[in-house]
Amino acid sequence: MYGKILLSIILIIGAYLLISRGPLVMKNAEAMNKESNTEHLDEVNPDQVDWKAKDDDYWKEVLTPQQYAVCRHEGTERAFTGKYNSFKGHDGAFYCSSCGNKLFDASTKFDSGTGWPSFYDVASSSSVTLRTDERYGMSRTEVRCARCDAHLGHVFNDGPSPTGQRYCINSVCLMHKDN
């Protein structure tokens, strides 16, 4: 008899916790799926800021949770979910959503079928930095923003001509601007 009462109490408390926390979980899920925040770039001249001097608290405050996880902690957005995966515009350029650094000309974007925006070349040799990434039991080349050191994605040697490169970049790390 006491076992049934105890079980009933546990079930009631569990149901209460699920119901009471449901909106919080949904709210966090919505925040995680929110597009990149670039409002912090509107308040300054991005070319005159020492972005590498910004600390983790700054990035946590100005970026969305997904941006923060990907750009500052080398996360990856799920394939085929990013805003720019199927983006078709060939005008303008793609910039770092953290610091506004020009990364890729829109004309170099192509459909790689991988689920992430792909580019065959960078806007300039000083746009990004590359480093070896040996996490998860494989060796890859990580792509980072040269100005703020944000993780952007990875580059592979299976892209189209003329470079043979495939810069596979998370959408949340990018913002597009027309010419």
Given 145, 148, 168, 173, the catalytic residue? 168
Is residue 92 scored above 90 in pLDDT?
yes
DSSP, res 49:
S
| pTM for the whole structure | 0.79
What average pLDDT score do residues 126-140 get? Answer: 93
Residues 6+ apart with CB under 8 A from 81: 33, 115, 171
Q: 3-class SS at 141?
A: strand
pLDDT tens-place string over residues 159-171: 999 999 999 999 9
CB atoms within 10 A of CB 43: 8
Q: Hey, what domains does the chain have and what are their CATH numbers? A: 39-177 (2.170.150.20)
Please tell me the predicted confidence (pLDDT) of residue 12.
57
Please tell me the predicted confidence (pLDDT) of residue 95.
97
Please tell me the predicted confidence (pLDDT) of residue 27.
31
Give the total residue count for the chain: 179
Selection from 82, 63, 65 nearest residue 168 by Cα: 82
Please tell me the predicted confidence (pLDDT) of residue 9.
59
Residues 6+ apart with CB under 8 A from 68: 59, 60
168 belongs to the catalytic site: yes
pLDDT category at 102 given cuts 50, 70, 90 is very high
Structure tokens at 140: 């890859």
